[in-house]
A and B are shown apart, each in its own frame.
Chain A
Amino acid sequence: MTLILLTIISISILLAPMGCIMLWHRYNYFHDGLVHACLFSGIFSYFFNLPQIFSMMIVAIIFTTLVFILKFYSNKNAIVSLISTTFLAITMILASKFNERTLFDAMLFGDIFTIEWHSLCLVLSILVIIWALLWKYLDQIVIMSIDPSIAKIANHPVHLIEFFILLILALVIAVSIKLIGAFLIGSLLIIPAIGARLIAKSPREMITWSVIIGIIAGICGFNLSLIYDWPLSPSISIMSVAIYITLTLKQKFYA
């Protein structure tokens, strides 16, 4: 139980800042698109006999590269939708030929109840790397969010940074899908970030609040699940939404 709780807390800390950056760069549907595209990894694992985590990472890299290249030709969220639909269609056609539903079920809800210490160590290692990168590049990321042309004139490598943001985001989401399932990604990625936006006055504050909201939703959802014997993922999602509604009401009536 301790291991599950620690994993949920670690993933909350990992996803919360990425959710903020996703909103700042207007990639609002990136995680939805990637989650759909990652269903393809089930087929990939089946054909190439690869562990699913590696298949997901490969699909995440392909997805990110395609989004990054094609965004120069059309609206970025439309491109995300286009690519995820393509992956989904191919997956469904291939899946109709093979009976491999177990892979897809595992992706929806993750392997959180069978998690082992080495998986937590993997999450913690990624956590340290992501926060170190954030510490170093946050200012550049924020300037790019304000106005890419100003960032470019200030000699920030705008396209390179954007590609790495997408790549890291995709890899973090892929690892999180494997552990906590696709269902929970939105609850720990986007909802804490939009909740934090209601109370934060600066980008750093927004990241801090989104981490706090993610952790509270994770811990409360976990306890809710234990006390009332509810499924874990929906319990955490319900808590995230409850926190968001509370902050919205506070903002409306007490701001």
Chain B
Amino acid sequence: MKHQISFNNVSHSYGKHLVIDQVSFTLDAGTITTLIGPNGAGKTTIAKLLLGIENPIYGEISRSTTRISYAPQQISINHDLPMTAKSFLEYIAPEYSTSPLSMDVLEFMHFHSIQDKQINTLSGGQRQGLVLASAILQSPELLVLDEPTQALDINGQQEFYKLLDKIRSSLGSTIFIISHDLFTVMQNSDQVLCLNNHICCKGTPTHTVIKGIDGVSFYSHHHDHKH
């Protein structure tokens, strides 16, 4: 399978604080990879490096894709910026109506009931649905999702998982998810990466999560690494 992104011995720090240390992994085209790890493990830093927002201090990141979209965990909406849900989509994904997934995505976010509402009046779940929709409707080659189901209710989460499958089959996108939700990891991922400043384990969901939950490799690796 073709590698779309590869991290080779990537390290990154903020000041003197080393956030990630010699991280290596590849993302194959058309696969779903989930990154898990405790708070402060460096997950957001990996996302920033992946997106090209920051450059690593050491190591190499190679990308064979330019069409990247990103759905942050939450957007802090400036109350001084008037914007309806519809105009939000028009700004972030101007060609949203031509996307092959347009109907599915608009239905997922209940677009018709929220399109004329101001974003700052939407609920947390509606706002997260809107942010996810805007990222998907850019028809990206690489889709990066940070905690995509955190604010969604049970129905919303189920619809989102169905949508993930459609994104992969219709667009062939490579999907990278940061998540604490083990259901996402088990049901929807091809590859799981466990991060705790370095990659503790990686592989198929069953193999990796059981190993992670076991607590032996995931946390003891970090402990060994620090000492």
Contact = CB atoms under 8 A, between A and B. Distances in A.
Contact of A142 (B52, B69, B91): B91
B91 A200 contact: no
Given A24-B78, A26-B78, A150 B92 contact: yes
B80 A149 contact: no
B84 A201 contact: yes
Contacts of A193: 80
Contacts of A206: 82
A145 interface: yes
B83 A202 contact: yes
B72 A203 contact: no
B81 A153 contact: no
Interface in A30-68: none
A24 B77 CA distance: 10
Contacts of B72: 147, 149-150
B42 to A, nearest CB: 17
A24 B83 CA distance: 11
19 contacts: A23-B78, A23-B80, A24-B80, A24-B81, A142-B81, A142-B91, A146-B75, A146-B81, A146-B83, A147-B72, A152-B53, A153-B53, A153-B69, A193-B80, A200-B82, A201-B82, A202-B82, A202-B84, A203-B82
Nearest to A202: B87
Contacts of A201: 82, 84, 118
Given A143-B92, A149-B70, 16 more contacts: A23-B78, A24-B80, A26-B80, A139-B91, A142-B81, A150-B72, A152-B51, A152-B52, A153-B51, A153-B52, A197-B80, A197-B82, A201-B84, A202-B84, A202-B87, A203-B81
A43 B87 CA distance: 48
Interface of B: 48, 51-53, 68-70, 72, 75, 77-78, 80-84, 87-88, 91-92, 118
A48 B51 CA distance: 49
A194 B80 CA distance: 8
A139 B118 CA distance: 18
Counting chain A CB atoms within 10 Å of each CB, the highest count among B52, B69, B92 belongs to B92
A131 to B, nearest CB: 20
Nearest to A140: B91
At the interface, is chain A mostly helix, strand, loop or mixed? Answer: helix
Given A201-B84, A206-B82, A143 B70 contact: no
A233 B77 CA distance: 34
Contacts of B48: 149
Contacts of A203: 81-83, 87
Given A150-B92, A153-B53, A145 B78 contact: yes
A24 to B, nearest CB: 5
B84 A146 contact: no
A205 interface: yes
B71 to A, nearest CB: 9
A202 B117 CA distance: 11
Contacts of A147: 72, 75
Contact of B53 (A23, A139, A149): A149
Interface string A13-39: 000000000011010000000000000
A247 to B, nearest CB: 13
Interface string A170-209: 0000000000000000000000011001001111011000
B222 to A, nearest CB: 27
Given A153-B52, A201-B118, A146 B82 contact: no
A83 B87 CA distance: 37
Contacts of B77: 146
Counting chain A CB atoms within 10 Å of each CB, the highest count among B68, B91, B92 belongs to B91
Contacts of B53: 149, 152-153
A152 B55 CA distance: 13
A202 B91 CA distance: 11
A150 B53 CA distance: 10
B30 to A, nearest CB: 20
A194 B87 CA distance: 20
A24 B80 CA distance: 6
Counting chain B CB atoms within 10 Å of each CB, the highest count among A145, A200, A205 belongs to A145
Counting chain A CB atoms within 10 Å of each CB, the highest count among B68, B69, B70 belongs to B70
Contact of B51 (A149, A194, A202, A205): A149
Nearest to A147: B75
Contacts of B91: 139, 142-143, 146
Interface in A200-223: 200-203, 205-206
